[in-house]
Amino acid sequence: MGLASRLYRGETDFPLIQKRKTFYAISIILVLIALGSMLFRGFNLGEEFKGGASFQWPANGTSVADARGTFEDLGVSDPIVQTVGRGGSVNLRVLTGPLTEDKVDEVLAGVQKKYDLKDDDISPSNVGPAWGKQVTNKAIQGLVLFLIAVIIYISIRFEPKMAVAAIVALIHDLILTAGIYSITQFVVSPATIIALLTVLGYSLYDTIVVFDKVEENTRGLAGRSTQTYSEAAELAVNQTFMRSINTSLIALLPVSGLLFVGAFLLGAGSLKDLALALFVGLASGAYSSLFLATPLLADLKEREPQYKALQQRVLARRSGTTVKAGSRFQQRAAARAAGQPLPPAEEPVVVEEAASSTTTVVAPAAPAGNAGRRPAGRPGAQPQRKKKGGRPSGKKRR
């Protein structure tokens, strides 16, 4: 049976949780790179956040250098000139620092006169820095409320440890998406914030799908001795692996088309800002739900006493013996599996061989002072009396 067929049937056995330390290391490295870029390079904030004015009009053969020189002649320092669109619909977009309303009117009149533009040909906008701060504060408030709602829902629907793992995965996706914006220096706009909140919802959805299967596989697991919690969770991940891949691909295909059209064909800034955050966030969410959230959940759950005892029983059973609960042998088998010193066997230990139904009772060694004594009789047995000499058995004498 091929890999594609096994993926479709959910019969894969990828050691995703068994190799969790490798995936932890990959995630940590990516997060550190993203944080380093945000710390040293920062973000390319749009005028909506840092404040400023923008002017856009049809290029009609006007070069970027010519437009830059025109704005400098009008008293605007350090203008940023961009080309928007492709083919015959190329526009020039000039970004400046914050300007007063009078200065905006002056620049607008100068550009119209220089390039013979009508009022409908040029689109000016002027945003103050206070508006950007308001957008940032509202975005942070929305993010905090979203995370609180996620914690409450998952804790009620599943359990708190699943909520912790899901939140770690969400923060991982946020940092990676923000780091890509810092590395590529794409403009951060309000469309970026909308895309980030959309990404959080998708990442949470994919994680919940996997957690639901984990809960189904681990229901009543602590009372059995067939597999550990990590093994049951790994089975759940493999059973939902193809579903997660299919869902991610279906979501990424239109987003990648939107990114290609916005960045390379139309050159539309708002499309690029929206599509890049969606593309990176969707890919990161698919990765974190399978390779980060579920392994982290398995680590958290196997710290609980009931799943520690389950792991000891499973290891002892696979070593060829079945251990009765509460016996000294259980402690020694667990210590042997963990590579720890064995506890002394002061009391009788009961061992049941897995290959047969014979039960062997091993008594502790007798003290040295009892050497040479005859073994004690069976407890509760009556002492045998010596028969006196009598008449032999047979018929009675007459």
- Per residue in 225-247, pLDDT (tens digit) is 788 898 889 888 888 888 888 88
Average pLDDT over residues 334-354: 47
Taking alpha carbons only, the member of 16, 10, 9 closest to residue 296 is 16
Strand pairing report for 187-188 and 44-45: parallel
Residues of the chain with CATH 1.20.1640.10: 135-305
Quote the DSSP letter at residue 347: S
pLDDT at 320: 63
Provide the 3-class DSSP secondary structure of residue 85. coil
pLDDT in tens, 20-74: 999 999 999 999 999 999 999 988 887 777 778 888 888 887 888 888 888 888 8
Residue 192: partners with Cβ closer than 8 Å, 6 or more residues away: 181, 186, 273, 274, 276, 277
Q: Bigger pLDDT: 252 or 90? A: 252
pLDDT confidence of residue 252? 85
What is the C-alpha to C-alpha distance for residues 135 and 140, in angstroms, rounded to an integer? 9
- Statement: residue 147 has pLDDT above 90: no
Closest CA to 89 of 273, 267, 272, 271: 267
217 or 395: which leads in pLDDT: 217
Residue 259 pLDDT > 60:
yes
In the chain, the percentage of residues whose pLDDT exceeds 70 is 72
- Distance, in Å, from the CA atom of 248 to the CA atom of 227, rounded to the nearest integer, reads 30
pLDDT of residue 344: 53
Q: What is the mean pLDDT of residues 148-158?
A: 88
Report yes or no: 160 and 240 within 8 Å, Cβ to Cβ: no
Cα–Cα distance, 271 to 228 (Å, whole number): 47
Amino acid 280 reads V
Determine the average pLDDT of the residues in 193-203.
81
Among 362, 334, 360, smallest CA distance to 348 is for 362
Largest CA distance in the chain: 157
Mean pLDDT of the chain: 76
Residues 260/302, Cβ–Cβ less than 8 Å: no
Query: How many C-beta atoms lie closer than 10 Å to residue 307's C-beta?
Result: 19
Fold of 135-305: Multidrug efflux transporter AcrB transmembrane fold (1.20.1640)
The rounded distance, in Å, linking the Cα atoms of 90 and 348 is 89
Encode 256-295: b = buried (16+ Cβ within 10 Å), e = exposed.
bebbeebbeebbbbebbbbbbbbbbbbbbbbbbbbbbbbb
The answer to which of 109-123, 180-194, 317-331, 356-370 has the lowest mean pLDDT is 356-370
pLDDT higher for 223 or 346?
223
User: Other CB atoms closer than 10 Å to residue 313's CB: what's the count?
Assistant: 21
CA distance 369 to 73: 112
Cα gap 115→118, rounded to integer Å: 9
Sign of the torsion formed by the C-alpha atoms of 34, 292, 298 and 320: negative
Is the domain 52-127 a CATH 3.30.70.120 member? Answer: yes
pLDDT at 30: 95
Mean pLDDT throughout 314-327? 63
pLDDT in tens, 70-124: 888 888 888 888 777 665 566 777 777 777 888 888 888 888 888 888 888 888 8
How far is the first Cα of the chain from the last one, in angstroms, to the nearest whole number? 94
Res 398: pLDDT: 43
SS3 for 58? strand
Q: Give the residue, 127 or 333, on which the prediction is more confident.
A: 127
